[in-house]
Amino acid sequence: MKFATRAIRVGQEPDPATGSINVPIYQTANFVFQGVGEPGPYEYSRTSNPTRRAFEESLASLEEGKHGLAFASGMAAIDAALSILRHGNHVIVSENLYGGTYGLIERVWKERGVEFSYVDGTRPSAFAEAIRPTTRMVWIETPANPLLQLVDVRAVAEITRRRGLVLVADNTFASPYFQRPLNQGVDVVVHSATKYISGHSDVIAGAIVVNDAHLFEQLSLYQKIAGAVAGPFDSWLCLRGLKTLAIRMMQHASNAQRVAEWLAGDKRVESVLYPGLSSHPQHQLARAQMDGFGAIVTLRLQGEMEGVKRFFDGLEVFSFAGSLGGVESLVSHPWTMSHQSLSPEDKNRIGITEGTIRLSIGIEDADDMIADLDKALARV
Question: Which residues are catalytic, by number?
Answer: 46, 98, 170, 195
Under 8 Å between Cβ of 78 and 189: no
Q: How far is CA 194 from CA 86, 225, 235, 295, 310, in A?
A: 28, 23, 11, 15, 29
In which element (H, E) is residue 313 found?
Answer: helix 305-313
CA 367 to chain centre: 27
Give the number of other CB atoms < 10 A from CB of residue 226: 15
Neighbour-count burial of 267, counting CB atoms closer than 10 A to its CB (0-12 exposed, 13-18 middle, 19+ buried): exposed
| Residues in Cβ contact with 374 at an 8 Å cutoff, skipping those fewer than 6 apart | 266
The closest alpha carbon to 209, from 232, 186, 231, belongs to 186
Check whether the bond before 41 is cis (ω within 30° of 0): no
Give the residue ranges of DSSP H helices in 140-212.
153-163, 175-178
The closest alpha carbon to 118, from 93, 147, 91, belongs to 93
Which DSSP string corresponds to 28-72?
A: -SB---SBTTB--S--BTTT--HHHHHHHHHHHHHTT-SEEEEES
Q: Rounded to a whole number, what is the distance in angstroms from the first to the last CA of the chain?
A: 49
Q: Give strand pairing partners of 273.
A: 298
Q: How many residues does the chain have?
A: 380
* Three-state secondary-structure class, residue 255: helix
| Residues in Cβ contact with 111 at an 8 Å cutoff, skipping those fewer than 6 apart | none
